[in-house]
Amino acid sequence: MSQIVTRFAPSPTGFLHIGGARTALFSWLLARSQGGRFLLRIEDTDRKRSTQEAIDAIIDAMQWLGLDHDGEIYFQSKRALRHNEVIDQLIASGHAYWCNCSKEQVDAMRETAKAAGKKPKYDGTCREKGLDASCGGVVRFKTPLVGMISYTDLVKGTSSVHYQELDDLILRRSDGNPTYNLAVVVDDHDMGVTHVLRGDDHVNNTFRQIPLYRAMNWDVPQFGHVPMILGSDKKKLSKRHGALSVMEYEKMGFLPDAVANYLARLGWSHGDQEILSREELIQNFSTQHLSSSPSVFDIQKLEWFSGQYMQSAEPKFLVQELLKLLAIELPPLTKTRLEAAMPLLQPRAKHLIDLLEQSRFFIVEPEALSYEQSAVEKFLNAQSTSLLNELFLQLQNIKDWNEEAIEQCLRAFIENKDLKFKALAQPVRVAVTGSTKSPGLFETLFVLGQEQTLKRLKYAVQKFGE
């Protein structure tokens, strides 16, 4: 069997939203899973609405998600000559004709059809008129009059529609430019695309496009239409409720692998397995398990995925991402400390932003620590600070700073004072981290290091004591 070729063909009229990203992901997965090629084509024929910013945004987003395409990027706008060449062939072979019906006339036809309880469409007035380029009109495709067109969708199965339902669609506008449906067919053919995975909203175009392939005697690719993604209100995801750019998810601190995994599992399944690495995704992807019904986007589940990825990530990698986010350099020692802190923080973070916030106290000097008001009020009073003062002396005596030694020291301390562990733990925690919430105390102190721990205790005692 020959190599399969898939493509993603966005129109650059805005950022790449989550729905488009998922479609791209599926196409990418299909190609990668079969050792095929994944191409990128920018459908920029609508010059008024296409922007360079949008093109860049789409490319950035795909790169972030790890969807690498093969070969050069195709720009549909650069292919107008070829499109017109095909249109001319279609006219020459009798599959297309010139039409100079005015917009008003066509509108009237549609009204008439609609009034008769039929599908509004052009009635074929100019079909046999034998008009030529001099008419200054458009070129229409001669849709077969009888019979039906059917195809088997990769995700929805076989479906068909009567040719009578179809319009004689316009291939070339009166300004000489090719239309979308023509351009797509020509490009997909020229690019050697064998499998077209695209949004649900294109199913009806498929019935129009297949006859074009046939008229040109071209191989018809396989089509698969993936259902759209809905908002929590079950309405199509719109800018109003959560149709965010995939780059927004980066800003929220999600790891690209987590987003890709979530997206893949939204509308596709591999048994009961939720977490799939990129390799597993590639290995197991198949259009057979694509769902044929729409799915609701659930940020809570994305967060869960993300949390899983945070937990299994490499500390080094996380630190690197954190520093990118902070856009700062850290002194080597602090960086090492931060890296040591990662395993403590990972189970507590849903995404990089969480991690960033929670790791802050590990890398700043005591003076820069932000103490939570309520935590201080509750745990750092005259009594507890004097306790901390005493503890300071004990901790100072530890020769070999490790978790066991710290634990021993603290336990001995409370035993001596006949205190509950909690009575000491929370004040220490607040003094050292600024918050009542933190990883385990011993491991926190250990990672912080003796010097920092002592510095912080001292600082807190001075600041909040008396």
Partner RNA sequence: GACCCCAUCGUCUAGCCUGGCCUAGGACGUCGGCCUUUCACGCCGGUAACGGGGGUUCAAAUCCCCCUGGGGUCGCCA
Site string for RNA, 239-258 (x = CB under 7 A): --------------------
Instruction: State which residue, 272 or 329, has the beta carbon closest to RNA.
Output: 272
CB count in 10 Å sphere of residue 335: 16
Kind plus residue range of the DSSP H or E element containing 165: none
CB of 16 to RNA, least distance (A): 13
**Residue 228 found at the interface with RNA (CB under 7 A):** yes
Residues 374-413 binding RNA (CB under 7 A) are none
Helix (H, G, I), strand (E, B) or coil at 213: helix
- DSSP string computed for 435-459: SS--S-HHHHHHHH-HHHHHHHHHH
**Residue 266 found at the interface with RNA (CB under 7 A):** yes
CB of 49 to RNA, least distance (A): 6
CB of 190 to RNA, least distance (A): 16
Residue type, 301: K
Residues 301-340 binding RNA (CB under 7 A) are 301, 303-304, 307-308, 311
Q: Of the candidates 222, 334, 381, 426, which one interacts with RNA according to CB under 7 A? A: 426
**How far is C-alpha 394 from the geometric centre of its chain's CA atoms?**
52
Q: Of the candidates 14, 46, 241, 372, which one interacts with RNA according to CB under 7 A? A: 46
> Residue 217 contacts by C-beta under 8 Å, 6 or more apart in sequence?
none
Per-residue tokens: 36? 């095929």
**Residue 106 found at the interface with RNA (CB under 7 A):** yes
- DSSP string computed for 309-337: HHHHS-HHHHHHHHHHHHT----HHHHHH
The dihedral built from the CA positions of residue 63, 65, 70 and 72, taken in this order, carries a sign that is negative
Q: What is the dihedral of CA 78, 81, 82, 84, to 10 degrees?
A: 130
**Residue 298 found at the interface with RNA (CB under 7 A):** yes
Round to whole Å and give the CA distance between 392 and 462: 12
Per-residue tokens: 92? 């020459």
From residue 381, alpha-carbon distances to 35, 385, 401 in Å are 66, 6, 28
Instruction: State which residue, 33 or 159, has the beta carbon closest to RNA.
Output: 159
CB of 240 to RNA, least distance (A): 13
CB of 327 to RNA, least distance (A): 26
> Per CB under 7 A, which region of 51-59, 64-72, 197-205, 212-220 contacts RNA?
197-205
* Given 78, 118, 129, 239, the catalytic residue: 239
**Residue 78 found at the interface with RNA (CB under 7 A):** no
Active site (annotated) includes residue 239: yes
**Residue 203 found at the interface with RNA (CB under 7 A):** yes
CB of 291 to RNA, least distance (A): 4
**Residue 269 found at the interface with RNA (CB under 7 A):** yes
Instruction: State which residue, 165 or 321, has the beta carbon closest to RNA.
Output: 165
Instruction: State which residue, 85 or 333, has the beta carbon closest to RNA.
Output: 85
Residues annotated as catalytic (active site), given as ranges: 239
